[in-house]
């Protein structure tokens, strides 16, 4: 789609309104380059953005505690002024200040529960210690005891530091990241040890007073404490909900306000101003410019200026590409996107990719039964993979169509009459078909590559660069010569001359554009020229795999039938089922990878740069 570069000049106070109008049209992709006018060097949206970010963060933190479940109707679109945003931010700050106390209480409950769990573990360990544990609870006149937890990574350093203060450190349990320890030393050195324990993250582990009671009773006691904590957590939830109930409406309004403020924040990086004049630039699809101007005229009360122009040649890489909007092509577009996004002006390969992918997949995995399973499974999973299930349905359907042509159903070749023939009946013909298919594929790919270069004005590149016109002529000469060699036994004079001339032209072009010492230039040009011959030969032969896999599919099915024949009735059925699953999963996966490889390496590398970026217009959040 043709794009226009637009430049909007508005009064700074009109920016929030302008941003909303632009967001409503959903056709404005911001251009973040600073304007050429040096005076436009202020960042009018920066303070607004910072306040918005803080308010949004506060709202997110509050709603993490108090989820907003009720849906709300989007009310009329209105401007959120900086003053309103500031007030909202302050209100949310005050709310979060209160809400964070609840969060802290939840965390304290978690910490207490963790400590009780540690105590339970400690209890088990104390039972094995052959000392009077009641002594550990209190300081004696001369000795002080510290029982507790310390992070394992601090253990050795703490052991040495405690030793310096005259204490002994004993480890009685080591867990994943914590160690349970006892530190014993003179009471008089407590002042020396305390700061070390503090920096080492030592956590005191209270020894149960009732140590002389039965372990089961103690355990019951600690379990009881955990139950109390669970109750406290429940009560805290209730308190939190009671506290939050009056604020729910306020929070929903805040959410709506922030949603309306978001467009201006998104525009921040593209905004520049000087005093009262603000500048905003972006990319708009050509057909949408008039609508954009109309919307701004309706929205803005103050004067504004909207200028549009075609993208300049050196701006091509900056122009976003509007993706093809088609539900059918959407899953194929996802696969194309893995390689890259079409640059502006470049042909979007998605439709061609979809057609060639399905043709190759179907031919390589042609089976009515297997195709139906793939299509059925994809349709069954449509709710789990809503963006991708159609891909499976189409691939399965293609497999089914080729299954009918080949007369193959779950590997059986005899049940269904073939509309064309089974691949194994004439493998040579299959290989020839694949070869012709590959030749057409490569020629079309080169032609598209040439077109893509011409469209951006790179005429020299379209003629001389790799996969350009000269390269294509060489390929055609190479093919003609190859055909002659196969049919008459001679390469032919004209193809030979054309191949040599085109190769020399390619070599001359490379020589001219290579900046290196003569020796290195000779080496590089010779290797590159040889590479051209080898690449085109190997790329063409690469398509033989299309027929090879169709033969492979039949051969694999035959192998499974042979195995099944060797079994009894039950074994026969099981082997057939497992064999078909094996074919579906393993061969299906391999075929998928092979087709992707052909598309990416033999196709995309010839005509698709993939270095564009997607059109992401400013819009109101949903």
**185: which strand partners?**
144
Ramachandran angles phi, psi of 357, nearest 5°:
-60, -50
Task: For residues 333 and 328, give the distance between their C-alpha atoms in angstroms, rounded to a whole number.
Answer: 10
Q: How far is the CB of 201 from another protein (least distance, A)?
A: 4
Query: DSSP secondary-structure letter at 600?
Result: I
- Name the residue nearer to another protein (CB basis): 107 or 309: 107
Minimum distance from residue 43 beta carbon to another protein (Å): 12
111 vs 224 by CB, closer to another protein: 111
Q: Which is nearer to another protein, 154 or 274 (CB)?
A: 154
Least separation in angstroms between CB 155 and another protein? 12
- Which of 26/174 has CB closer to another protein? 174
Minimum distance, C-beta of residue 551 to another protein, in the bound complex (Å): 41
Supply the minimum distance, in Å, between the C-beta of residue 202 and another protein: 9
Rounded Cα–Cα distance for residues 398 and 355 (Å): 10
Q: How far is the CB of 192 from another protein (least distance, A)?
A: 5
What does the alpha-carbon distance between residue 357 and residue 379 come to, in Å, rounded to a whole number?
19
- Compare residues 40 and 358 and give the one whose CB is closer to another protein: 40
Task: Give the burial string for 438-473 (b: 16+ CB within 10 Å, else e).
Answer: bbebbeebbebbbebbeebeeeebbbbbbbbbbbbb
Residue 563 in tokens? 């195995």
Binding site for another protein (CB under 8 A): 50, 53-54, 57-58, 61, 93, 96-97, 100, 104, 107, 151, 153-154, 157-158, 160-165, 192-193, 195-196, 198-201
Token pair in block for residue 617: 């217009």
Residue with smaller CB distance to another protein, 32 or 53: 53
**Closest distance to another protein from the beta carbon of 266 (Å):** 15
Closer to another protein at the Cβ: 96 or 437? Answer: 96
Query: Smallest distance from the beta carbon of 103 to another protein, in angstroms?
Result: 9
What count of other Cβ atoms lies within 10 Å of the Cβ of residue 50?
A: 13
**How do 29-30 and 277-285 pair as beta strands?**
antiparallel
Check residue 409 and give left, alpha or beta (phi > 0: left; psi -120 to 50: alpha): beta
Residue nearer to another protein on the CB measure, 56 or 552: 56
What's the 3-state SS for 509-540? HHHHHCCCCHHHHHHHHHHHHHHHHHHHHHHH
* Size of the chain in residues: 622
Q: How far apart are CA 528 and CA 508, in angstroms?
A: 11
């Amino acid at each position: 789609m043709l794009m226009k570069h637009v430049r909007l000049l508005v009064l700074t106070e009109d920016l929030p309104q302008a941003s909303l109008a632009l967001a409503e049209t959903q056709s404005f992709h911001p251009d973040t380059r600073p304007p050429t006018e040096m005076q436009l060097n202020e960042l009018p949206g920066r303070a607004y953005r910072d306040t918005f970010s803080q308010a949004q963060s506060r709202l997110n933190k509050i709603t993490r505690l108090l989820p907003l479940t009720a849906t709300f109707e989007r009310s009329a679109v209105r401007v959120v002024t900086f003053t309103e945003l500031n007030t909202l931010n302050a209100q949310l700050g005050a709310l979060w200040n209160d809400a964070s106390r609840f969060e802290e209480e939840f965390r304290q409950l978690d910490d207490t529960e963790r400590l009780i769990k540690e105590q339970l573990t400690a209890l088990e360990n104390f039972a094995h210690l052959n000392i009077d544990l009641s002594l550990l609870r209190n300081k004696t006149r001369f000795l002080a005891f510290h029982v507790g937890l310390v992070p394992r990574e601090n253990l050795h350093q703490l052991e040495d530091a405690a030793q310096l203060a005259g204490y002994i450190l004993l480890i009685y349990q080591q867990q994943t990241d914590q160690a349970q320890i006892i530190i014993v030393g003179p009471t008089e050195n407590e002042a020396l040890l305390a700061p070390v324990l503090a920096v080492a993250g030592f956590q005191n582990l209270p020894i149960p007073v009732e140590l002389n009671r039965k372990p089961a009773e103690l355990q019951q006691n600690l379990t009881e404490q955990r139950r109390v904590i669970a109750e406290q957590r429940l009560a805290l939830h209730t308190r939190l909900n009671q506290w939050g109930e009056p604020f729910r409406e306020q929070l929903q309004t805040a959410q709506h306000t922030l949603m309306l403020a978001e467009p201006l924040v998104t525009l921040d990086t593209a905004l520049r101003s000087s005093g009262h004049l603000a500048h905003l630039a972006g990319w708009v699809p050509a057909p949408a410019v008039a609508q954009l101007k109309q919307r701004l005229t309706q929205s803005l009360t103050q004067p504004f200026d909207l200028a549009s122009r075609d993208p300049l040649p050196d701006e091509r890489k900056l122009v976003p590409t509007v993706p093809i909007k088609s539900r059918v092509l959407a899953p194929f577009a996802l696969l194309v996107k893995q390689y890259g996004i079409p640059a502006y002006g470049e042909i979007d390969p998605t439709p061609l990719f979809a057609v060639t992918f399905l043709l190759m997949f179907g031919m390589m995995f042609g089976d009515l039964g297997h195709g139906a399973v793939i299509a059925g499974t994809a349709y069954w999973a449509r709710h789990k993979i809503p963006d991708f299930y159609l891909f499976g349905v189409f691939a399965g359907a293609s497999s089914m169509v080729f299954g009918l042509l080949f007369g193959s159903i779950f590997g059986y070749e005899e049940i269904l009459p073939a509309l064309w023939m089974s691949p194994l009946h004439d493998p040579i013909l299959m290989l020839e078909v694949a070869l012709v298919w590959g030749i057409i594929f490569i020629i079309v790919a080169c032609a598209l590559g040439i077109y893509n270069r011409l469209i951006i004005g790179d005429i020299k590149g379209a003629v001389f660069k790799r996969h350009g016109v000269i390269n294509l002529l060489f390929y055609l000469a190479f093919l003609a010569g190859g055909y002659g060699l196969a049919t008459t036994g001679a390469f032919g004079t004209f193809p030979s001359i054309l191949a040599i001339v085109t190769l020399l032209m390619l070599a001359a072009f490379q020589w001219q554009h290579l900046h290196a010492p003569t020796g290195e230039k000779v080496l590089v040009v010779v290797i590159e020229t040889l590479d051209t011959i080898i690449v085109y030969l190997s790329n063409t032969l690469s398509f033989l795999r299309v027929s090879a896999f169709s033969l492979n599919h039949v051969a694999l099915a035959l192998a499974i039938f042979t195995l099944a024949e060797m079994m009894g009735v039950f074994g026969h059925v099981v082997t057939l089922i497992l064999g078909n699953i094996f074919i579906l999963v393993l061969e299906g996966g391999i075929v998928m990878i092979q087709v992707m490889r052909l598309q990416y390496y033999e196709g995309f590398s010839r005509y698709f740069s993939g270095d564009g970026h997607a059109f992401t217009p400013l819009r109101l959040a949903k």
